[in-house]
Structure 1
């Protein structure tokens, strides 16, 4: 195990969110939620469920068309187990549910829709995003650094700046120690970042935790850089939506949404009802 560059001894490189112990996944300190040290952040939750959704045999003949995560409250920072079941096993489509459990209790789940691969017409999504290497590198927020494994290049706005945010992201980190994550898993990790990178308000005044993650894939991403184009909308009734567009250097590969729970932040003059 090598040490991280410019890191004190004891920090493994590449960084990882989990270590595997037989059928259990043991979260590391990097998986902790920035809001609650006893919980796991949404990105590591989504990425681990994506790891459990992969199937080499199925992926030879089927495309992942949708990945949807529901989080059942706070996912505790403790050993986790995953269970997979088929909800639909058709010739053209397959739907699987991956359930994440802590102490035998479901804490999150993902639904994965696969569609049989066929040669069909191409109608790409138009875009004018700049290439990642034409954009300067920026410091990532503490909760998104992954021990220095995540690189951020901001195109527009970004974390801590209210309004639409567009950023290129890349990571050399591992979701599970010793296992190189696929681009599908990396895409599911970064899909959690939309409500933070395209936040509607100042985080100190209003918090905006996401309750779910939905990604509709046009195709699987390629290359090392993942673009996130995010914007959050709210109607003043306690919740909102984050609209996300995902691209790589070849173009848009997916679109998605998150349901946002809105509540007064730590600097808000409003006090949450008892």
Structure 2
């Protein structure tokens, strides 16, 4: 059987090597943050589940353990260049609890801290009778047209994506679905929310406001707030990009899976002319 391609290869405990499929959109010697965000989420899942838990079923996703909590928010601060070197991830629980739990992860590349992440997990409960306030769902992926991002971007990660726009893209405004046939980590099962998050950073490149050949607008962070656990192979992005007048920008996205909206994502941009 032919093995599927992957964005990362494990090379030791908490250590991973990016493949060419993780290649960045801005520079050839960098990786894209999107799969790295998914990898960090996967490492947090493994930490919470217990990497060597003898009671975990082999078919069980690493986030599916019986503490009854779901991911509600995860934030990533991108501290610097994301090189194509080996990545190590250190995770610790800094606020344990039965109702809420806060976990912190630091991803280091080439021996230097590159990303700091914090994730809140919240106790689940039956709130179906009061659920409401969600935005309208996106049109289904099979109703969307192909929207190749390679017209604006290069790199292995962008090339690995299947992108479908639900309407013609406008400068700074796009609604689209994204999926990939590339595994996050070679030989490892990942949770639905890790696979989902691995595609969310695509939002900052999917609704291009100005040509990246003339302007740079990399994001310094990514924060997701979730009101429902995402599932399925598609990540839906209802994205708006705003550039301010003093070098700041925002990429704001309503997140969807094939069943409907699941939350929101925000990215702070540094905008500068090339």
Does residue 99 of the first structure (1) align with residue 106 of the second (2)? yes
Between stretches 235-244 and 149-158, larger displacement belongs to: 149-158
1:152 corresponding residue in structure 2: 163
Ranked by relative contact order (alpha carbons within 8 Å, sequence separation 6 or more), the top structure is: 2
Does residue 27 of the first structure (1) align with residue 34 of the second (2)? no
1:81 corresponding residue in structure 2: 88
Does residue 41 of the first structure (1) align with residue 32 of the second (2)? yes
Length-normalised TM-score, structure 1: 0.85
Closer/same/farther in 2, CA of residues 37 and 255 from structure 1, 3 Å limit: same
2:247 corresponding residue in structure 1: 238
Q: Does the aligned pair in 1 maintain the 2:21–2:160 contact within 8 Å? A: no
Gaps of 5+ in 2: 51-62
1:114 corresponding residue in structure 2: 121
Q: Does the aligned pair in 2 maintain the 1:156–1:164 contact within 8 Å? A: no
Gaps of 5+ in 1: 3-12, 266-274
For 2:23 and 2:159, the matched residues in 1 are separated by 15
SS at match of 1:209: coil
Shift of 1:162: 1.7
Q: Does the aligned pair in 2 maintain the 1:200–1:231 contact within 8 Å? A: no
Shift of 1:62: 0.3
2:7 corresponding residue in structure 1: 17
Q: Does the aligned pair in 2 maintain the 1:240–1:259 contact within 8 Å? A: yes
Between stretches 34-43 and 243-252, larger displacement belongs to: 34-43
For 1:147 and 1:169, the matched residues in 2 are separated by 10
Shift of 1:219: 1.2
For 1:225 and 1:92, the matched residues in 2 are separated by 30
Q: Does the aligned pair in 1 maintain the 2:200–2:235 contact within 8 Å? A: no
After superposition, the CA RMSD in angstroms is 2.1
Q: Which structure features the higher share of strand residues? A: 1
Mapping 1:185-204, distance limit 5 Å: 185-204=194-213
